[in-house]
Amino acid sequence: MTAPEVKFGILAPVVAKPGQEAALAEFLNVGYDLSLNEPDTVQWFAIKYTDGGAAAPGAPTTFAIFDTFVTPAGRAAHLGGPIAAALMANAPVLLDGAPQIGEVEILASIVRPTGAGRTVGLSVGQRVLFEAKEGKVDTVKEFLASARPLVLDEPGTLGWYAIWYPGTNKFGIVDFFASEQGRDAHLNGKVAEALFGSVGELITSLPEIVKVDVLAAKA
């Protein structure tokens, strides 16, 4: 079955209160069960940041939810649904600060058939953020869309999403792999080479890369 083309998404980092890391991870696993009853939520991922950026030594433990939708209405239904309500209800106990709900547009994506079970064969991933230089937003959009064929040549990249925060210069990539080997191959591949090569011309500075573990995935 071919996955529907997704155009809208949410990337929502949540920071665990000290001592609540295990409880927050368990809450996210419950969120996965709830996501199965949301037909308009096409893909849903619960992830844990493991190194780099927000996962630096001594920093609070950060988790995130990344999910995708075909229409803005599907996203709105999710934001008004039971997962969001439960997250807000449990925030005072579990979270160090309010959830950061980032609504994004998905410029290009790849979803390959994976395995079964709670993580559908995915184990690791990464979250990459970067900013376009002034006047280069449209060029960066085109660059990311043109990167899709390069990712298709990476058999170990099982999920790949190029995202943009509308109305800003902020972009990102969220991608997923079955193994560390797949992630390493992607980081050493043509897309990463082109992205890092665009620093100074298209983007303002080196991309911020955070590696993640996949806790649960509806994909």
Decide if pLDDT at 48 tops 80.
yes
Q: Quick count: other Cβ atoms within 10 Å of Cβ 153?
A: 10
Question: β-pairing, 102-111 with 170-177?
Answer: unpaired
pLDDT class of 77 with cuts at 50, 70, 90: very high
Q: Where are the beta strands (DSSP E) in 76-203?
A: 102-111, 124-131, 157-164, 170-177
* Site of tokens 């609540």: 20
C-alpha–C-alpha distance, residues 184 and 55, integer Å: 19
Q: What pLDDT, in 10s, does the model give residues 145-190?
A: 999 999 999 999 999 999 999 999 999 999 999 999 999 999 999 9
Give the type of residue at 126: Q
User: Would you kindly state where each structural domain of the chain is located, as residue ranges?
Assistant: 8-217
User: pLDDT value at position 195?
Assistant: 94
User: pLDDT value at position 117?
Assistant: 84
pLDDT class of 53 with cuts at 50, 70, 90: low
User: pLDDT value at position 115?
Assistant: 80
Backbone conformation region of residue 135, classed left if phi is above 0, alpha if psi is from -120 to 50, else beta: left
Provide the CATH number for the domain formed by 8-217 in this structure: 3.30.70.100
